[in-house]
Structure 1
């Protein structure tokens, strides 16, 4: 969102999108209800301003879904989960399409992944899988560090995770992998892993 936010050179913050650009307006809303949220409450970032495109060419239905009206302005739904602090600086948290709904709580996969990196984990990818009682449960695909391979069990990481995060966030299942499917640009194909996990859960069910 470099065209809608900037990080002031004289007051920049680390790992930050920055503040809304001049003549721009940004808000954070609850993705499902579109209720406007306050400081440090994660939600979907919506933006308005002259630098924001006005719609998809000849695709009125998609345009209608991509924008919401608030205070007489048309805001574009970025699909990015973020928050802003008390000074109005915005921070990226995750993507809306990656949200996991577990027992009525929203889980941001990147938050769980960042906590897992405190363990001897080389790479982690967290996805949501169907759960008959909880709606969805958290599953983590993990590539262990070379030193940890063969020495750590899945159950050990689950027990460790219970002490590091809220009860609805910790992974209920762990699957070790030697490699992840990746894009040409080096990003993990999380949706492919999620589809695999959901297929397996469907077969079990």
Structure 2
């Protein structure tokens, strides 16, 4: 069978639930396959088919999940953040050379003006709130140039995303049908997913984490997934009670928000029966991992992923094997090695260096960017390796520990500081709910370290006490020179904290 998205959903029972949402009835696998055929025919009638790029701007929920899965079986999908401004949409639609833009039937936002400027066809998606979750129909004014519906093969691009770089133009990452097929099955295998599993998705579905780790892996297993309308810490426990999932996946800041409301939702937690909790997209501080596991009585599976790997690279294993706090686990799909940071050579696993990967889930390369491809890919041991930009090393049992993004490692007058290490120390204080350390400019040292923290409810901790706590546990050069106490730490669109640029956002740049 070909390694395509279509093959992920081909063999599951017609009447098995596939996609749902809180307060909605389930869409079955038979209905999902039928919807796929309808979408393919509708797009073909609009002149859209294999190789054509379709941008999608939809709110989180089952329609977004179904739009991705079905359109990707007929054309190339490009999900975009619904919170973008017109200028951002204009950039992405032009950069993608999108042939069409799919928006909700009642959408009147800034993507429309950007589509008209770029010449992208505007396609409306109409859903039925009373019908099964995710069912929709596509429409647009009559067009000439219909084409026959065709099935993409495993080498066709199914999904295009942009990197979230903060210091340069975002790079286009094409992911093929076989990339998605491989990664979905890697995650299914790592988590031992079966048709009995049910995922509660709170991740944004314009991001690789939600699309692959939650949606595609569940469908690969014949399991079902309930798609919430985004993450809302105030609604999470009600959704947990209603959906009764066997697992959910989120980023660390979401897990921290869940923990902050755990005490008042003890009854729901006790009856939840989660098989496991998954975390990815940013390093999960060890104290948070331990508190999550203790609160829910379930193993916390931290995984390591990135867009260029179609998400997952490593994962902590399920019991009876150990979940190691502070580690992103074992290689889980691709081959994962340590490489020299300045040479195209592999190092011993115990060495500290740049993490590199090779495997069928790895993108074929950045689109239209020869310089980035030359810097990011190299050949060694007859394999093509991708440089992740992360630094780390393996322990004696094969568990990978990250020491940070190479660009985020703080160079304080020649002394290198891993911000992840300092984060973990600060988070071990019971009065600190969130912490993120980052580089700030220094006139003599080049860089120094600062920290932004959010205090636990009711805490009156001050900057001096925080620095004293850190100084008792860290070498002097690692102690944050300033501590900013915030109500909320600024985050990116997916809930990840971005260290690069945080000093400027907080007014700590060079004066």
Q: Are positions 1:117 and 2:430 aligned together?
A: no
Q: Are positions 1:127 and 2:445 aligned together?
A: no
Contact 1:18–1:91 (CA under 8 A) maintained in structure 2: no
> Unaligned 5+ residue runs, structure 2?
1-304, 306-310
What are the equivalent positions in structure 2 for 1:27-106 lying under 5 Å apart?
A: 27-32=337-342, 36-106=346-416
Cα deviation for residue 140 of structure 1 reads: 0.5
Cα deviation for residue 184 of structure 1 reads: 4.1
Contact 2:338–2:352 (CA under 8 A) maintained in structure 1: yes
Could you tell me how far apart the structure 2 residues matched to 1:158 and 1:64 are?
A: 43
SS across alignment from 2:367: coil
Could you tell me how far apart the structure 1 residues matched to 2:423 and 2:441 are?
A: 19
Cα deviation for residue 77 of structure 1 reads: 0.6
Q: Does the C-alpha gap of structure 1 residues 41 and 163 become closer, same or farther in structure 2, counting only changes over 3 Å?
A: farther
Q: Does the C-alpha gap of structure 1 residues 7 and 109 become closer, same or farther in structure 2, counting only changes over 3 Å?
A: closer
> Unaligned 5+ residue runs, structure 1?
none
- Larger relative CO (CA 8 A, sep 6+): 1 or 2? 1
Q: Are positions 1:148 and 2:459 aligned together?
A: yes
SS across alignment from 1:138: strand
Cα deviation for residue 182 of structure 1 reads: 2.5
TM-score (norm 2): 0.35
CA deviations over 1:98-136 (Å, ceiling 9, x no partner): 211123222121211110012221211111011233221
Could you tell me how far apart the structure 1 residues matched to 2:487 and 2:447 are?
A: 25
Cα deviation for residue 92 of structure 1 reads: 3.6
Could you tell me how far apart the structure 1 residues matched to 2:495 and 2:341 are?
A: 28
Aligned to 2:488: 179
CA deviations over 1:30-65 (Å, ceiling 9, x no partner): 535677554554432111234323322332111111
TM-score (norm 1): 0.79
SS across alignment from 1:186: coil
Higher strand share: 1
Q: Does the C-alpha gap of structure 1 residues 155 and 146 become closer, same or farther in structure 2, counting only changes over 3 Å?
A: same
How large is the Cα RMSD of the aligned pairs? 2.8
Higher helix share: 2
Contact 1:56–1:63 (CA under 8 A) maintained in structure 2: yes
CA deviations over 1:150-176 (Å, ceiling 9, x no partner): xx3312221221111122211111111
SS across alignment from 1:147: coil
